[in-house]
């Protein structure tokens, strides 16, 4: 329960990062404001999820709708923290894993909104992955290095073949994701990302929400696949091999 609440609070901070980082704004100052009317938010309006539900998704000052992304990111972070905790317990490995996926969530939602993956977030994510690998490794070093190389080279080849259908940001993002997941994990990760990306992309085309020319960001699918691989990769691979 405490881990879930911690995740909600961290998720609330991730929202600030998702909002401000693409605009080059500071994430510590100024305090949170309503983007429509600029009114500073009071403490009661900063309670994760509950404030949003209580205000029925509207700003108290100007009644402008507040994006569903806010409660979604908070809930998602809470659930992710809870699942990682169930797997790793309250350990240093949990802390680095939670930090890693917190950054992954920021990247996924920025990519979703702006179709871009900021380089410095990829650098930050790589830093977390390297620190984890040095002090609390979950996969052998060779496996991590091969995961990073195989994953990013595969996406690089796809980027070349599709002439930019796969973005350079995805290729770079794959380095820390592959390093974190290790080698068998990275292949599963890519497979899951292609399947989920294909299904969702196909559905968006069929429902005519997106046209054939529209870019659909791939980062969120890589992020989701990395999470599933981290939480259930071993079970999925064992099930598949049997």
Residues 6+ apart with CB under 8 A from 123: none
Instruction: In angstroms, give the least distance from the CB of 194 to Zn ion.
Output: 41
Within positions 16 to 55, which residues make up the interface with Zn ion, using CB under 5 A?
Answer: 34, 36-37
By CB under 5 A, how many residues form the interface with Zn ion? 7
Q: Which is nearer to Zn ion, 44 or 62 (CB)?
A: 62
The least CB distance from residue 17 to Zn ion, in Å, is 21
Residue 90 lies near Zn ion (rule: CB under 5 A): no
**Cis status, amide bond into 30, omega within 30 of 0:** yes
Of 59 and 88, the one with the shorter C-beta distance to Zn ion is: 59
- Exposed/middle/buried for residue 150 (C-beta within 10 Å: 0-12, 13-18, 19+): middle
Nearest of 130, 128, 92, 101 to residue 10 by alpha carbon: 101
Rounded to the nearest 10°, the torsion over CA 185, 118, 110, 21 is: 130
Q: Which of 61, 127, 137, 201: binder of Zn ion (CB under 5 A)?
A: 61
Region from 9-17, 61-69, 175-183, 232-240 binding Zn ion, contact rule CB under 5 A = 61-69
Token pair 């992710």 is found at 80
Beta-bridged to residue 58, according to DSSP, are 65
Sole binder of Zn ion in the list 44, 62, 160, 209 (CB under 5 A): 62
DSSP code of residue 45: G
Q: Which of 59, 159, 175, 230 binds Zn ion (CB under 5 A)?
A: 59
User: Which residues of the chain form contacts with Zn ion (CB under 5 A)?
Assistant: 34, 36-37, 59, 61-62, 64
């Amino acid at each position: 329960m405490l881990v879930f609440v911690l995740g909600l609070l961290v998720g609330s901070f991730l929202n600030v990062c998702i909002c401000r980082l693409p605009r080059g704004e500071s994430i510590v100052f100024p305090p949170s404001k309503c983007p429509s009317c600029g009114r500073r938010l009071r403490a009661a309006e900063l309670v994760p999820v509950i404030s949003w539900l209580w205000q029925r998704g509207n700003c108290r000052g100007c009644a402008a709708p507040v994006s569903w992304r806010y409660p979604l990111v908070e809930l998602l972070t809470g659930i992710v923290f809870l699942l990682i905790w169930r797997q790793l317990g309250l350990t240093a490995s949990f802390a680095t894993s939670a930090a890693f996926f917190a950054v992954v969530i920021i990247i996924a939602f920025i990519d979703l909104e702006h179709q871009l993956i900021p380089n410095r977030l990829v650098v930050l994510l790589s830093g977390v992955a390297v620190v984890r690998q040095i002090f609390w490794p979950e996969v052998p070093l060779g496996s991590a290095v091969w995961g990073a190389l195989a994953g990013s080279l595969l996406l690089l080849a796809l980027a070349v073949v599709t002439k930019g259908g796969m973005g350079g940001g995805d290729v770079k993002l794959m380095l820390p994701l592959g390093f974190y997941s290790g080698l068998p994990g990275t292949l599963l990760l890519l497979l899951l990302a292609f399947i989920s990306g294909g299904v969702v992309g196909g559905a968006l085309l069929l429902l005519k929400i997106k046209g054939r020319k529209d870019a659909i960001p791939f980062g969120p699918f890589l992020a989701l696949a990395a999470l599933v691989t981290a939480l259930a990769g071993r079970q999925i691979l064992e099930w598949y091999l049997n």
